Structures are given as C-alpha cells and as structure tokens.
C-alpha cells in the first residue's frame, strides 16, 4: 500500500507561490521585451479583433470601439492603435454589436456578430467620411474563412447541441463529429472510445476550461455531463495554442450555458417502451422479449437577476432506463448447463434470460454571471451527478450471482474572475473543486462464498469486485492567466496547479476454476474436492491512497503581422509531481518514482488570408 500524503497548507502555499512567481517572471519579461501586446482565453471566452480603415484602405488610429453583448449588456471599450488594429479579448460568449467612432467619419455599427468558444472573430471596420451624428449600420457575422483562426477544430454551437439526436443522452459522444477522430460511442453515460491523430484514448476532457480528465487513466472523463450542462462544445485536434496541453490527440471542452437579459426556459420528455425495441440477437427464442422502459425528463431556465449585470442559469435532467434489452446483457449459458448447475446447487433464479440491469441518473447545474463593477466580472458554477445502476454486469457466461450495484456520485464547483486593470491589461483567475466517488456494492442478488469459474461455461458465486472503490478522486485546480494588449501582438502567459488526492479499494476474493461442470459437481459433493484446475486468492491490504500535483506554465504570442498574416507561437511546460513510492514494495520500480522534468512543448501556427472579399480563402 502506498503511503498517503494528504495536502497540507504548506503544499498548497507552495503551489500558489509557484503560480504567482511564474506569472511575475512572464510579466516582467514581456513588459520589457514585447512590442505592444494583447491576449485571448480560448477555454471559456472569445475575442473580437480587426482593423479600422477609411474607404481608401488607409488605417484610422485612435478610433473609439465599443463592443456590446446584446444578450447580457456586457460592454467593453478600446481604441485602435497607430496601425488601426484593435483587439478585445476575454469576452463572454454570445451575440455582439461593434460600434466605432472617429473624428470626421460617420459612426459605424456592426451587428449580428456571434462569438463562440475560443473564437477570434475578425471584424474589419471601414469608415466613410462624414459627421459622427450620421450612423451606418451593417448586419452580418464574421467571415466563415476567418483569418483569426489558427487551430484545427470546430465549435458545436447551441443549435447543434440541442438538435442533434442523442439517444444515449451522453454529450461526450459529440467528440466523434470532429474531423480526424474515429472510435465508437458509448450507449450509456460512460466514455466513448476515441482515436484522434492516431492516438487511442488520448483525450483531454475539460469543463469550462477546467480539468475534467480522470488522473489515473488517459482519455477517461472525470465527471459525466448532461446536455443541459452544455451550451457549446469546443473540439480541437491540432494547432492548439500553448494554453492547452496534456494530450497529442483531442481536446474536448464543454462550455456551460449562461443566463441573458431575457427569461428563457425549456422542458422536454422522452420515452421508449418495449414495442420500440428489437429482440436481442442471441436471446432465447422461447422466452418473452426483455422489457424496455426509458424515461428522460429535462428542464432548464435562465434569465436576469439584475438586468445587464447579474444573470443565472439552472438545469436538471433525470434519466431512468432499463438495460436488460441490451445485447451484452443476454445470458448465453446453454439450457443443459443451466440444469446441471441448478442440480449442483446453484439457485435457479441465477439464470434469467438477461441481466436485469438498469440506470437511475440525476444531473443538476446552477451558474451565475455577475458584472461586479466596471473592472471585474465573476462566473460561478455548481454541477452534480448521481448514478445508481443496479445489477451493473454483463451477461454471456456470467450469472446473476455476480451482480453488483454501481453507485457513482460526482460534483464540482468552478469560478472565474476576469479583472480589467486597463484597456491593455487583463487578468483571468480560475478555480475548480471536483470530486468523484464511484463504488461497486453487493446487492440482494449477489452470491456468497468463493467465486467459481467453469471455463467456457459459467461464472457464479460471490462477485469479485464487491465493495470496491474506483476511484474516490478529489482535485483542486488553480489557474491564473495574464493578458497584455499592445498593437499587433497578443501575449498571454499563465500558470496553474491541479492538486489531486486519490483513494482506491480493490476487490477481495477467492476463486476456484474448474475445467467442466462434472469437475465442479464432483468437488461440491466431495467425490473429488481437488478437481479444480486453478485457485486464486487476493492477499494484503486492498486500500491505497496517494497524492499528486500537475503543474503547468505557458506563454504565447498571437501576432497579427499584417492585415492578412497572423502567427501564433509559444511555449508550454508541464511537470507531474508523482506520488511517493513505497520503500517496502516487492517490485523495485515501485519503491521510487522519478519526476520527468523535460516536458517542454513549443508551439507554432501560421494563417494567411490568401483572398478577401466575397470568396474569402485562408491557408
């Protein structure tokens, strides 16, 4: 058993000091060396940028640009620089209106600009000579071929999320809609099997830009999510900036909904019954088709608490479904072997046609967005998931005696604070607490005594994974990013730490393996008590706990070199402070774990607007 190292205040303080110190070093470096700089957050917000020109294409410096979220009233003001370039980073998602004013020019209003997760929307502003009292209004979104986009990926907007068929009710299956991603979906609330960029199960799951990947296994999500949790889904497979890391495959970032100035709500009910389902292929034709009963109810509401300043959103989903009709639940033990085992003492009720598996799942989310004052915007979120799955085993050669109930509970609290110190200096702080507790518990159908396996025939007796804990994981994640805005450059730098505590409990069992039913019968009636071919028993302490820390540091420059050319370059560094080894472990490599300290990841992306106008083309 590994020795537990619970985090002390000293450990947490050390992580905070590292984050603060790294941010200070980056700030000092780029204040001294960078031209003028600006930044964006790709995880939870978006950015609007462009160039202010006159009708002849000459740049217009010192123009006043006001960017307004028409749904929430959020407003930000900046000025174009000497090159006519303006940038407005760290904007909440939504629909925007851009207003520009400059002396000796008519006021220009651009409406209908939709900003999605991580998007850099390029909005070019061409002013006409005239009086400021004259207003020109243009409606239209940013171009599809956007020269501000460098990464290879897509954002599924709210319309897609709400309208695409999702029979499983599992939004993680949306990951398979991204180009260069293959795999198979999960029919319940588990994890789809994903292959991205040639890497199997290398997915970095995020929720509002915070970690949502289980610490012990790559490609496993930590917390299940509901469709009611999701406003947009950001899928990126290549070209991601230094802000993102920890995977060579897919980044899947689910962004939660926020309220607006309008009061909106929705409710839905979905159901499925036995007549809607086909008979499982291997099911005994002499038995009645397994029953199917699925009920799914969702409700959500969002709106203003204080108009233009404080908004809320809350959602709920309850799913109750029988899973006995799934093909993998069919018991395939032959009738002859069933009768022989019943004669040998195995209860007849251990052989239903299918395992009577089921799921009872509840999701809940609450989010609030508050404009605390002109300089500070706060976002807070709480989400909870509970899943009780009785008889959570597959069929095949497994009898109902091996049945266990799977109980899974997870919850999370996440906050974001965006502080505007000046039009050219912003800070973003994020914190998330997340906890998952999943257990396998025996139930009334569970067998007792030793576990018995008759090779190729049947598995019965006590379940081998009863009372297991896999995992009880708690994480506290801190991230701080600094954004500097000057001219054609966007520099963003930051640091973070994820403190993880993990507890496990393995199964304790004794297993007899017999070559055939006759050998088991002979052993049971005493004719040949040693007729088993193998005996296996777990020994030692089944419980273990350990602590680990993931540190991250990054710096990136998003440089708009010319109106058509954009270059994003940066550097990321990750270090994993692994758990302590066990000096008494029987295996030598388990006594001391080495910390890998060379995880430097340089990044470079280039995009060029090859053609502008009615048929924009970017490479």
Residue-by-residue DSSP string for 371-422:
EEETTEEEEEEEEEEEEEETT----BTB-GGG-EEEEEEEEEEEEEEEEEEE
**pLDDT tens, residue by residue, 508-534:** 999 999 999 999 999 999 999 999 999
Are the CB atoms for 234 and 255 separated by under 8 Å?
yes
Q: What is the pLDDT, as a whole number, of residue 193? A: 87
> Does residue 16 have a pLDDT over 60?
no
Q: What is the pLDDT, as a whole number, of residue 259? A: 95
Q: What is the pLDDT, as a whole number, of residue 4? A: 39
CA gap 192, 221 in Å, rounded: 10
Beta bridge partners of 460: 452
Token pair in block for residue 413: 């609290």
How many other CB atoms sit within 10 Å of the CB of residue 561? 12
> Does residue 411 have a pLDDT over 70?
yes
As a three-state string, the secondary structure of 289-346 is CCCCEEEEEEEEEEEEEECCCEEEEEEEEEEEEECCCCHHHEECCCHHHHHHHHHCCC
Q: What is the pLDDT, as a whole number, of residue 1? A: 38
> Does residue 566 have a pLDDT over 90?
no
Q: Where are the alpha helices (DSSP H) in 439-583?
A: 517-524
Closest CA to 54 of 103, 98, 105, 101: 105
**pLDDT tens, residue by residue, 430-446:** 999 999 999 999 999 99
Are the CB atoms for 483 and 90 separated by under 8 Å?
yes
Q: What is the pLDDT, as a whole number, of residue 144? A: 58
How many other CB atoms sit within 10 Å of the CB of residue 372? 13
**pLDDT tens, residue by residue, 206-260:** 999 999 999 877 778 999 999 999 999 988 888 778 888 888 888 899 999 999 9
Give mean pLDDT, residues 466-476.
93
Burial class (CB in 10 A: 0-12, 13-18, 19+), 137: exposed
Give mean pLDDT, residues 368-377.
95
Cα–Cα distance list, 461 to 347, 348, 399, 509 (Å):
10, 13, 9, 10
Cα–Cα distance list, 619 to 566, 567, 604 (Å):
11, 12, 14
In the Cβ-directed half-sphere of 50, how many Cα atoms lie within 13 Å?
23
Are the CB atoms for 425 and 37 separated by under 8 Å?
no
From the candidate CATH numbers 3.40.50.280, 1.25.40.80, 2.170.130.10, 3.30.360.10, the one assigned to the domain spanning 152-255: 2.170.130.10
**pLDDT tens, residue by residue, 107-135:** 999 999 999 888 888 899 999 999 888 89
Confidence of residue 141 (pLDDT cuts 50, 70, 90): low
Q: State in Å, rounded, how far the first CA of the chain is from the last one.
A: 54
Q: Tell me if the pTM is above 0.75.
A: yes
CA gap 579, 367 in Å, rounded: 34
Give mean pLDDT, residues 184-190.
87
DSSP 590: G
Sign of the alpha-carbon torsion through 214, 220, 226, 227: positive
Confidence of residue 30 (pLDDT cuts 50, 70, 90): very low
Q: In what order do the strands lie in the sheet with 199-200?
A: 181-184, 193-196, 199-200
CA gap 420, 438 in Å, rounded: 41
Where exactly are the structural domains of the chain? Answer: 36-143, 152-255
CA gap 229, 206 in Å, rounded: 13
CA gap 438, 446 in Å, rounded: 19
Could you tell me which residue, 346 or 27, shows the higher pLDDT? 346
Q: What is the pLDDT, as a whole number, of residue 385? A: 97
Closest CA to 126 of 145, 143, 109: 109
Confidence of residue 292 (pLDDT cuts 50, 70, 90): confident
Confidence of residue 146 (pLDDT cuts 50, 70, 90): low
Cα–Cα distance list, 87 to 234, 486, 490 (Å):
22, 9, 9
> Does residue 147 have a pLDDT over 80?
no
> Does residue 197 have a pLDDT over 90?
no
Sign of the alpha-carbon torsion through 239, 245, 249, 250: negative
The CATH fold assigned to 36-143 is Immunoglobulin-like (2.60.40)
Give mean pLDDT, residues 323-350.
93
Token pair in block for residue 573: 């560094």
Q: What is the pLDDT, as a whole number, of residue 43? A: 67
Sign of the alpha-carbon torsion through 610, 613, 617, 619: positive
Q: Mean pLDDT for the chain?
A: 88
> Does residue 262 have a pLDDT over 90?
yes
- For 155, phi then psi, to 5°, come to -120, 120
Are the CB atoms for 307 and 261 separated by under 8 Å?
yes
CA gap 19, 25 in Å, rounded: 10
Confidence of residue 279 (pLDDT cuts 50, 70, 90): confident
Give mean pLDDT, residues 535-547.
92
Sign of the alpha-carbon torsion through 303, 305, 309, 313: negative
Are the CB atoms for 554 and 479 separated by under 8 Å?
no
CA gap 103, 107 in Å, rounded: 9
> Does residue 3 have a pLDDT over 50?
no
Are the CB atoms for 554 and 570 separated by under 8 Å?
yes
DSSP 354: B
Could you tell me which residue, 463 or 605, shows the higher pLDDT? 463
CA gap 340, 395 in Å, rounded: 19
* Least confident range of 41-50, 267-276, 564-573: 41-50
Which span out of 25-29, 45-49, 384-388, 544-548 was modeled with the highest average pLDDT? 384-388
Closest CA to 239 of 148, 121, 115: 148
Q: What is the pLDDT, as a whole number, of residue 142? A: 64
Are the CB atoms for 201 and 257 separated by under 8 Å?
no
Give mean pLDDT, residues 95-107.
95
- pLDDT above 70 as % of the chain: 91
Give mean pLDDT, residues 150-176.
85
CA gap 63, 127 in Å, rounded: 10
Same fold, 36-143 and 152-255: no
Confidence of residue 282 (pLDDT cuts 50, 70, 90): confident
């Amino acid at each position: 058993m590994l020795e537990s190292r619970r985090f002390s205040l000293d450990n947490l303080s050390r992580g905070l000091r590292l984050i603060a110190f790294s941010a200070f070093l980056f700030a000092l470096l780029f204040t001294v060396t960078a031209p003028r700089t600006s930044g964006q957050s790709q995880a939870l917000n978006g950015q609007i940028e462009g160039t202010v020109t006159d009708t002849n294409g000459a740049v217009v410096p010192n123009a006043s640009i006001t960017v307004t979220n028409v749904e929430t009233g959020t407003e930000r003001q900046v000025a174009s620089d000497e090159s006519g370039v303006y940038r407005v980073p760290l904007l909440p998602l939504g629909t925007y209106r851009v207003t520009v004013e400059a002396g000796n020019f008519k006021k220009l209003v651009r409406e209908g600009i939709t900003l999605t997760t991580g998007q850099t929307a390029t909005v070019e502003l061409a002013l006409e000579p005239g009086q400021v009292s004259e207003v020109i209004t243009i409606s239209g979104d940013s171009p599809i071929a956007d020269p501000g986009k460098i990464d290879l990926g897509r954002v599924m907007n709210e319309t897609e999320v709400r309208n695409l068929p999702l029979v499983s009710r599992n939004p993680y299956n949306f990951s398979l809609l991204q180009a260069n991603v293959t795999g198979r979906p999960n029919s319940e609330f588990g994890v789809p099997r994903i292959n991205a960029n040639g890497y199997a199960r290398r997915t970095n799951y995020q929720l509002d830009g915070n970690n949502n990947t289980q610490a012990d296994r790559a490609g496993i999500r930590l917390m299940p999510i509901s469709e009611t949790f999701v406003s947009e889904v950001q899928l990126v497979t290549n070209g991601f900036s230094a802000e993102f890391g920890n995977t060579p495959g897919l980044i899947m970032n689910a962004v939660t909904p926020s309220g607006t100035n309008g009061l909106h709500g929705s409710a839905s009910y979905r159901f499925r019954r036995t007549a809607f389902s086909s008979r499982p292929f291997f099911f005994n034709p002499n038995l009645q088709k397994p029953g199917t009963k699925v009920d799914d109810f969702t409700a959500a509401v969002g709106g203003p608490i204080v108009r233009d300043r404080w908004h809320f959103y809350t959602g709920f989903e309850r799913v109750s479904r029988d899973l006995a009709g799934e093909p993998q639940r069919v018991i395939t033990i032959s009738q002859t072997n069933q009768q022989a085992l019943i004669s040998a003492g195995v209860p007849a009720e251990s052989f239903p046609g299918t395992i009577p598996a089921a799921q009872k799942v509840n999701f809940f989310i609450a989010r609030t967005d508050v404009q605390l004052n002109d300089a500070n915007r706060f976002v807070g979120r709480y989400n909870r998931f509970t899943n009780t799955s009785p008889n959570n085993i597959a069929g095949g050669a497994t009898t109902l005696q091996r049945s266990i109930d799977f109980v899974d509970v997870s919850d999370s609290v996440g906050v974001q604070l965006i502080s505007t110190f000046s039009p050219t200096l912003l800070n973003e702080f994020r914190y998330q607490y997340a906890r998952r507790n999943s257990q396998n518990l025996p139930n009334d159908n569970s067998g007792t005594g030793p576990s018995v396996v008759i090779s190729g025939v049947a598995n019965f007796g006590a379940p081998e994974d009863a009372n297991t804990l896999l995992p009880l994981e708690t994480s506290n994640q801190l991230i701080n990013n600094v954004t500097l805005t000057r001219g054609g450059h966007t520099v963003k730098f930051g640091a973070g730490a994820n403190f993880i505590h993990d507890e496990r409990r393995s199964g304790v069992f004794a297993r007899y393996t017999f070559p055939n039913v006759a050998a088991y019968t002979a052993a049971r009636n005493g004719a040949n008590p040693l007729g088993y071919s193998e005996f296996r028993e777990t020994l030692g302490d089944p419980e273990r706990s350990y602590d680990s820390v993931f540190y991250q540091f990054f710096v990136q420059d998003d440089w708009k070199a010319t109106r058509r050319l954009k270059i994003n370059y940066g550097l990321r560094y990750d270090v994993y402070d692994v758990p302590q080894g066990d000096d008494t472990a029987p295996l030598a490599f388990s006594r001391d774990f080495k910390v890998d300290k060379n995880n430097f990841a340089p990044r470079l992306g280039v995009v060029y607007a090859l053609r502008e106008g009615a048929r924009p083309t970017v490479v």
